[in-house]
Amino acid sequence: MPIETARPGEGIQPILRKLLLNQQAIVDAISSGGDINLAELGGTPVGVPLPVATPVGAVFDIGYADTASIDAFDRLRTSNPTGLFESTLTYDAQPLLWNQKVVGAGTVTHLPDESAVRMRLSGASASIERTTRSYFRYQPGKSQLIFMTFAFGQGSQDIIKRVGYFDANNGIYLQEVGGELSFFIRSSVTGSPVNTGVSQSAWNLDTYPDFNPTKASILVIDLEWLGVGRVRVGFVEKGRIRYAHQFLHANLLDTVYMSTAQLPICLAMVSGPGFVGTNDFIGICGSVISEGGQDENIGFPFSVRNSALRAVGGSPLPVISIRPKGTFNGRINRVEIVQRALELFNDANSTIAYDIIYNGVLTGATWNSVDANSVVEFDIASTSIAGGIKVLGGFVASTNQSKNGQQTGITGRLPMSLDIDGLSPTPLSIVCSNISGLGNVAAQFNWQEYR
């Protein structure tokens, strides 16, 4: 195989560029034992000698092609993504991870043999929405990667189906109506939601003429927010990401393309006033990944304790509880709250038992703001608690004036959050009881807020 060369003074860059652009032709020539002739590839004739040396300090402009091999920030994808969330539906519909809201004639059914849920509308002007309880932390400069598996099923002109990374105000999603597909960006930059869509025939990377919306599919979204970054959307086929469309914003918009990138994953379907019959939408798995890891030290640290000792007897007493505020600075509070540690102080000669209870029902609670700069409020007035999930427990020894410290981080899979409508905040409580007699207890929560 003859050595390919360039014109004198041309340098090696044009040769490298031609070789990169004609990889398949080169592979075919090598496999057949033939010669590589750049003249046939639009290059320089064979036999022209290469320059003896490249000038010292020359810079070669060699990069990766704009494919699925690079992340949203033009960095080569490697095998070290950091998972922020994953959901499989093998055993149930994961009610601890997902909120769901059904309006009108609709049902959500767990399908254990399919590890999926079936959302079914059976009447007009009805809707179903399944959205994660968590809004997933976005860190500027890191690519946010979302995968979701689903089956739109049979389309109907009277049913709108959506799947993606979005809520009522912002996000990115795929929409299907009567078999017609579109990708949308939802933005509340103007103060109210505006949906901007691109139909399948206008997708600018791949119009997917072979796509069958009735079959189970894998949606992929990656984004660089920074307020004005790029969004790519597409599907995974044969184990490879195949992008369909990209939304470009940098140096094109006057402001950000959506208000936030801290969002949930969501599936939703809505029937129109003329719908008759039944229609199904299947949700399967979902994951949210930060490409480049997550920095844990950027959360805002806060702490709260009961200011006076509380008398604890044999019945469980919620000594202190915390929960997210409904709003923060006029906006629905979707900040991620990560419980880090707790402290207990026992001012008695008897042993105190304690439990950390998630989402219990408190009696007589009075909620107060922890701080104007915090998204959390606290209660130290409750007299009893019912229900909830015990997520941690232990004892504070019977020696006089003893204390116990615990590192927790228990809310990773049990988020302290609001529901779909921004209501029903989830509390976390330190509940104590005295093994024998009466004792006085103080308790303290320590956490971080990521916004």
Q: What is the pLDDT of residues 93-107, one digit of tens each?
A: 999 999 999 999 999
Overall domain count for the chain? 3
Mean pLDDT confidence for 376-395: 95
Pair 178, 29 in one domain = no
Q: What is the pLDDT of residue 50?
A: 44
What strand order describes the sheet that includes 265-271? 98-103, 127-132, 265-271, 159-166, 171-177, 180-187, 194-199
The DSSP code sequence of 383-412 is: -EEES-EEEEEEEE-SSTTEEEEEE--TTS
Let me know: does 123 contact 104? Beta carbons within 8 Å: yes
Confidence at 5, pLDDT banded by 50, 70, 90: very low
pLDDT for the residue numbered 411: 58
Identify the weakest region by mean pLDDT among 43-57, 234-248, 274-288.
43-57
In a domain, 73, yes or no: no
Render pLDDT for 17-61 as a digit per residue (tens, 0 to 9): 555 556 555 556 555 555 555 445 444 444 444 444 555 666 656
Q: Within this chain, do residues 1 and 148 fall inside the same structural domain, yes or no?
A: no
Task: Report the half-sphere exposure of 327 (CA within 13 A, side-chain side).
Answer: 4
- In this prediction, residue 44 carries a pLDDT of 46
Which tens digit of pLDDT belongs to each residue from 111-164? Answer: 999 999 999 999 999 999 999 999 999 988 889 999 999 999 999 999 999 999
* Tally of CB atoms within 10 A around 368: 10
- The whole-number pLDDT of residue 438 equals 82
Looking at 261, 294, 327, the residue that finishes a domain is: 294
Residue span of the structural domain in which 238 resides: 82-294
Per-residue pLDDT at 43: 47
Question: Above 50 in pLDDT, residue 1?
Answer: no
pTM, rounded to two decimals = 0.81
Examine residue 69 and state whether it is found in any structural domain, yes or no: no
4, pLDDT greater than 50: no
| Boundary of a domain, candidates 294, 309, 341 | 294
Question: Which token pair is 301?
Answer: 């640290």
Average pLDDT estimate for 297-306: 91
Q: What is the mean pLDDT of residues 354-381?
A: 97
| Mean pLDDT, rounded, for 266-288 | 97
Query: In which band, very low, low, confident or very high, does the pLDDT at 286 lie, cut at 50, 70 and 90?
Result: very high
At residue 333 the predicted structure's pLDDT band, cuts being 50, 70 and 90, is: very high
| Residue 6 pLDDT level (bands cut at 50, 70, 90) | very low
* CB neighbours of residue 87 within 10 Å: 17
Q: Name the percent of the chain in helix, strand, coil, to the closest 5.
A: 5, 45, 50
Range name among 197-201, 290-294, 306-310, 311-315 with the lowest pLDDT average = 290-294
Give Cα separations from 412 to 137, 171, 301, 339, 444 (angstroms): 12, 23, 16, 9, 19
Residues 350 and 268 in one domain: no
Q: Assign residue 415 the CATH number of its domain.
A: 2.60.120
Report the CATH number at residue 181.
Answer: 2.60.120.200
Q: DSSP string of 72-115? A: TTS-B--S--EEEEEE--SSS--TTTEEEEEESSEEEEEEGGGT
Is pLDDT above 70 for 401?
no
Q: Is residue 271 situated within a structural domain?
A: yes
CB 291 within 8 A of CB 77: yes
Task: Look at residue 306 and tell me whether its pLDDT is greater than 90.
Answer: yes
Give me the percent of the chain exceeding a pLDDT of 70.
83
Residue 226 Ramachandran class (φ > 0 left, ψ -120 to 50 alpha, else beta): left
Same domain, 142 and 284: yes
Average pLDDT over the chain, rounded to whole?
A: 87
Predicted pLDDT at 61 = 62
Q: Does 201 share its domain with 243?
A: yes
CB 76 within 8 A of CB 69: yes
